[in-house]
Structure 1
């Protein structure tokens, strides 16, 4: 239910958000029991992630959507412009409010969805928790509304000091704009005597920044962050992509196009002795900000992860529980059991979420995942290690 190597990360979140921590534990326990006892059926999810828009105002190098080989670059303009109406989102929230899932707004860049404040207002008005995942560029103009609306958590990407962050994000002044946004958020919370939204930073290990990761912790402290998670870079080889799609096509008559955005011709150019030294240095740092690496690989696994396209984890169970715990709803209304596998179990424009969640199509997907435990790309996905 919670992998042993993720226990510290889970405890930290529970301490900073005790109400949510207890609710998440109960939800995960129930979903885990349905995973063990039933063949594809699941209790309602802990989290529903609303993919508000494909649009993004940055072109981050390592991003699978809009990065160097990002999958969104291949999508037609009509698809990229798609988004659910406010009425459709309100109907969804009315459908799920009885089991009170955590609602996460992401994209693309969710703050480019003009009516995002209305969505937050509707989520909070129905007694649900609301998170926003953002690159921070538009935060300064939106910080006051986030505090007033009661956003619970802001997850923000920060990859290094100014020059490193801007290079990885593909645009000048990105660091300064984000930093100004979080300073304003911090000041407004202090002025209004509020603790939320909590600020959690997400940082990706990459060729450009791995030697300077400790600096991210100090910047996180200045921003008033609650926690920082260093994510290992997601990448796959062409052979893995081909093998995966051949298998996925056999089971579901479709391919996982979104994983094309993570293909690399060569392994990352990272000096592993240096990276491991930086990881050790960060874990030994005294900081008010809770720090974790995710997945929390052993040193041996870190070496294996970056030195082979055929990596297999040793310290985690090789199975995925995410389809029992999380649902993803995309701008066209499609409901996905996994963010990047491009498998749609239904569409909220045609059926209610509650009907889709345990539909025959959804249950069949879970059955296959349970029997196979993983597809070729899964070991590179963070959800594989989450539960």
Structure 2
């Protein structure tokens, strides 16, 4: 019955979206957008490790200065936070816990707004006090970047780091959750699909089971200068299938969820062929499958607002403008218009996260439906009881 109810609700939403589609599409094509529901905040562009596959380490991206996000930049988002549902409090090129006091101060503010907070970290700087506070403050999801299950491999890939340090940090958080009687944060491991580490994936899943980690994900790796031939999804698919199947078997044995991100990374059209096809196709399903600029923004440690972690063109700076001015400023609106028109910037064409998607229902319709339901979602968030119930449900799901 519950499944039938969800199906009926989804169908009703789809029908409503179709009826109002022309009106909402006109709004979308204007380039304007309601305030975002998702934010990624680069708390730090400084990292304690020097991972061999990091674009910053090998110089494959513009040199990003090591800096921390000032509280003044964070405070400039005050008027937007009541509308935000999800925040990724991490570093694009840096480590979130490089300055724990700053991280905890920002986390506390975000949780007072009832926002779901995820943090991506290498895990090596989480000491006892930090573990205690992230549990107390209510961090929802901690994604630990780890690619190897053997100390020597970990040391070679994540230079300056030790696997034992990461393992100790995860155990600390688990102990704090038990001590405080909390189920959050849910902890997951995220590994890059690298040729040099893929054979350790089943061992990593087993380690996750030993540590009480709920999920292990294999993230598709993009290739760039210095990492040619390393992407399992692009160059070594048979190898990827072999070890991911083995990891999935181990996951079933130890009670850990295992997933591929994206799920079709070993079956989708080859990446280079996809990019070539996209350049010659002015309007295809793939070009319509990104509507992040209507719902998400990234704020860098220096205060620049950019569309996502794959496109670094600044839409404006919080040092000189308000977020609302930037969000519906001409640069953001032009980007949205180009995506709708099927003429995206080069960074979008070469994005590994979207090249082959065939959404059902179509992405354009999903965007219409999402905009229609957005006011209702934001109204419900303001009801304290429902906010607490939603948070409790997420914690239950994370524990399960």
State TM-score, norm by structure 1.
0.74
Deviations 1:178-218 (A, max 9, x none): 11000010011012110011112211011211122111211
1:178-217 paired onto structure 2 within 5 Å: 178-217=166-205
1:14-163 paired onto structure 2 within 5 Å: 38-39=28-29, 40-66=31-57, 68-71=58-61, 74-75=63-64, 79-81=65-67, 83-92=68-77, 94-107=78-91, 108-113=94-99, 114-141=101-128, 142-161=130-149, 162-163=151-152
Change (3 A) 1:176 1:279: same
1:225 pairs with 2:213 = yes
Q: From 276, 288, 312, give the equivalent of 2:255.
A: 288
Q: What secondary structure is seen at the aligned counterpart in 1 of 2:43?
A: strand
Kindly indicate whether the alpha-carbon contact (under 8 Å) linking 2:140 and 2:184 is maintained by their aligned counterparts in 1: yes
Kindly indicate whether the alpha-carbon contact (under 8 Å) linking 2:262 and 2:353 is maintained by their aligned counterparts in 1: no
Change (3 A) 1:234 1:298: closer
Change (3 A) 1:172 1:146: closer
Instruction: Name the larger-Rg structure.
Output: 2
Kindly indicate whether the alpha-carbon contact (under 8 Å) linking 1:267 and 1:308 is maintained by their aligned counterparts in 2: no
Q: From 347, 354, 371, give the equivalent of 1:384.
A: 354
Change (3 A) 1:267 1:375: farther
Kindly indicate whether the alpha-carbon contact (under 8 Å) linking 2:287 and 2:339 is maintained by their aligned counterparts in 1: no
Deviation of the 1:316 alpha carbon: 7.6
Deviation of the 1:88 alpha carbon: 3.2
Q: How many residues align?
A: 323
Q: Structure 1 segments of 4 or more deviating over 4 A?
A: 32-37, 307-313, 373-377
Change (3 A) 1:103 1:221: same
Change (3 A) 1:331 1:37: same
Moved more, 176-185 or 317-326: 317-326
Question: How many Å separate the matches in 2 of 1:160 and 1:295?
Answer: 20
Kindly indicate whether the alpha-carbon contact (under 8 Å) linking 2:193 and 2:231 is maintained by their aligned counterparts in 1: no
State TM-score, norm by structure 2.
0.72
Deviation of the 1:324 alpha carbon: 1.7
Tell me the equivalent position of 1:279: 244
Kindly indicate whether the alpha-carbon contact (under 8 Å) linking 2:118 and 2:142 is maintained by their aligned counterparts in 1: yes
Question: How many Å separate the matches in 2 of 1:91 and 1:192?
Answer: 33
Kindly indicate whether the alpha-carbon contact (under 8 Å) linking 2:97 and 2:125 is maintained by their aligned counterparts in 1: yes
Tell me the equivalent position of 2:332: 362
Tell me the equivalent position of 2:311: 341
Q: C-alpha root-mean-square deviation of aligned residues, in Å?
A: 3.1
